[in-house]
Amino acid sequence: MRRERQIELLRKLTTLDPHEPWPLAERTMRNPASAYADPARFEAERTALFRRRPQMLCLSSELAAPGAYVTADLGGVPALVVRQADGSLKGFVNACRHRGAPVADGSGERPRIACPYHGWVYDLDGSLIARPYAEAGFDDAPKADCGLLPIFVAEGYGLVFAQAEGGERLTADSALCGAEGEIKDYGLESYVLTEAREHVWEVNWKLVLDTFAESYHIRALHKATIAPAYSSEVSLCNAFGPHPQMIGLLKTVFDEIKKPEAEWNFLPHTTCQYIFMPSGLITYQRDHIELWRVTPLSAGRTRVRTSLYAPEAPATDKARAYWTKNLAALLSVTGTEDFPLMEKIQSNLASGAIPELIYGRNEPALIHLHTAINDALSQAGANA
Ligand code: FES
Ligand SMILES: [Fe+2]
């Protein structure tokens, strides 16, 4: 984010009462409980949002060398993204053309892609190279017709995107919907992964994003942990197309703006979150980047991958321990305070005992997110 924009945002804060909710949306929003619990709605979201829209997968540095790969589930489509010898990226359906076995698992690096079932070997570009000890068994199925099937990928500003269907015009810019103007200033290209952890929570995928879309809950839910340091009432909200931005504020920001303007610093007092609808969020937090990626498994079940990226690869045990501790602290607050409560909310929503949720005017990023989700779903319904 540019210095001028940072100053503009800080100037706004000088006019506010730190104890009064700000900003306020025009009106509250009601969302039916079924939006989080109905299996038919879930299937519609998985197809319209996770299969037919761009998904943010990871930072480019996770796929640095030729042969580096990551796998993902794109709305039920198994996907594999591989760094090519020429530095570009290609994406494939992660299913062998012989009898459908996944050809890769997790993430890693390899010179070729060998299927674990019968050993078919694919080049990094997805073309079938060999069917060892079995060419005669397939002599009427030419290798040229048996390459891995393509999916759409795009890369830019240090981020990797993939889309299973309808991504003919996918670019990093089209995926970011205007957020690229700010994202490019963070220089994500130079950040390196220190560690990624995965956890499955018994929640609808939207509850994971809801966790990050407002600061209102900090005062009550996090009173014993982060509430003394963070502002619950005031945050800075913006949006880029369907993607809300929620900048959380450390209380120290209100001391910062008492200094002369030329000395103002923005980033040390803020947590800049870009919620990327639907697949997760990127957070710029003082000295590192976090990426949270959600994979919806069912209406009430979601896999969450949290990756922490540092400005440079940790070279010493001390540096490695610092980042491990950092990630553990982050996951300890969300993993003991936010997500366990979200599991109870999910169970309440699935019980049928409450008809709807009410998003407050003091939760504008939450309202933006759910308006964007509901609009994308009705648009997909109208197009279908
Ligand atoms: S399924 Fe891949 S080689 Fe048979
Ligand atoms: Fe929280």
Q: Specify the residue with its C-alpha closest to ligand 1, atom 3.
A: 118
CB 56 within 8 A of CB 280: yes
Determine the pLDDT at residue 384.
66
Taken as a whole, the chain contains a residue count of 384
Q: Which amino acid is at 28?
A: T
CB 132 within 8 A of CB 121: yes
Determine the pLDDT at residue 286.
85
d(CA 161, CA 183): 14
The H or E element containing residue 363 is none
Determine the pLDDT at residue 383.
75
Q: Specify the residue with its C-alpha closest to ligand 1, atom 4.
A: 118
Regions in the chain scoring below 70 on pLDDT: 384
For every residue of 79-145, DSSP letters joined together read EEEEE-TTS-EEEEESS-TTT---S--SEEE-SSEE-TTT--EE-TTS-EEE-TT-GGGGTTS-GGG
Cβ neighbors of 211 (< 8 A, separation 6 or more) are: 334, 338, 339, 342
Q: Report the residue among 115, 135, 138, 143 best suited for mutation to probe ligand 1: largest number of ligand atoms under 8 A from its CB.
A: 115
Q: Which of 57, 42, 69, 80 is nearest to 280 (CA)?
A: 57
The H or E element containing residue 288 is strand 288-298
Query: In this predicted model, what pLDDT tens digit does every residue of 37-55 receive, in sequence order?
Result: 999 999 999 999 999 999 9
The structure tokens listed for 94 are 């992660």
Radius of gyration, alpha carbons of the chain: 22
Cβ neighbors of 259 (< 8 A, separation 6 or more) are: none
What is the CA angle 37-42-45, rounded to 5?
Answer: 135
d(CA 103, CA 376): 32
Would you tell me how many other CB atoms lie within 10 Å of the CB of residue 376? 18
Distance of CA 147 from the midpoint of ligand 1 (Å): 12
Distance of CA 212 from the midpoint of ligand 2 (Å): 7
Q: Which of 140, 160, 165 is nearest to 61 (CA)?
A: 160
Q: Where are the domains of the chain?
A: 1-52+187-384, 55-169
Distance of CA 170 from the midpoint of ligand 1 (Å): 30
Q: Which amino acid is at 50?
A: F
The atom of ligand 1 lying closest to the CA of 120 is 3
Q: Which amino acid is at 114?
A: A
Distance of CA 102 from the midpoint of ligand 1 (Å): 9
**CATH class, range 55-169:** mainly beta
d(CA 259, CA 306): 36
What is the number of helices (H) and of strands (E) in the chain? 11, 19
The atom of ligand 1 lying closest to the CA of 96 is 2
Domains 1-52+187-384 and 55-169 share a fold: no
Q: Specify the residue with its C-alpha closest to ligand 1, atom 1.
A: 99
Cβ neighbors of 4 (< 8 A, separation 6 or more) are: none
Q: Report the residue among 92, 93, 99 best suited for mutation to probe ligand 1: largest number of ligand atoms under 8 A from its CB.
A: 99
Distance of CA 98 from the midpoint of ligand 1 (Å): 5
Query: In this predicted model, what pLDDT tens digit does every residue of 82-136 receive, in sequence order?
Result: 999 999 999 999 999 999 999 999 999 999 999 999 999 999 999 999 999 999 9
Q: Which of 192, 229, 200, 210 is nearest to 323 (CA)?
A: 192
User: Backbone phi, then psi, for 282, in 5-degree steps?
Assistant: -115, 135
Helix intervals (H) in the chain: 3-14, 34-37, 39-45, 172-176, 180-183, 205-212, 218-221, 253-256, 317-333, 339-350, 364-383
Distance of CA 336 from the midpoint of ligand 2 (Å): 10
Q: Which residues line ligand 1 (CB under 6 A)?
A: 96, 98-99, 101, 115, 117-120
Distance of CA 63 from the midpoint of ligand 2 (Å): 30
d(CA 118, CA 141): 16
Ligand nearest to the CA of 131: 1
Look up residue 249 and give its DSSP letter. Answer: E
Full-model pTM = 0.96
Cβ neighbors of 277 (< 8 A, separation 6 or more) are: 49, 209, 242, 243, 244, 369, 372, 373, 376
Ligand nearest to the CA of 216: 2
- Say how many CA atoms lie within 13 Å of 344 toward its Cβ: 5
Look up residue 154 and give its DSSP letter. Answer: E
d(CA 197, CA 380): 33
The correct answer on CATH 3.90.380.10 for the domain covering 1-52+187-384 is yes
Would you tell me how many other CB atoms lie within 10 Å of the CB of residue 264? 17
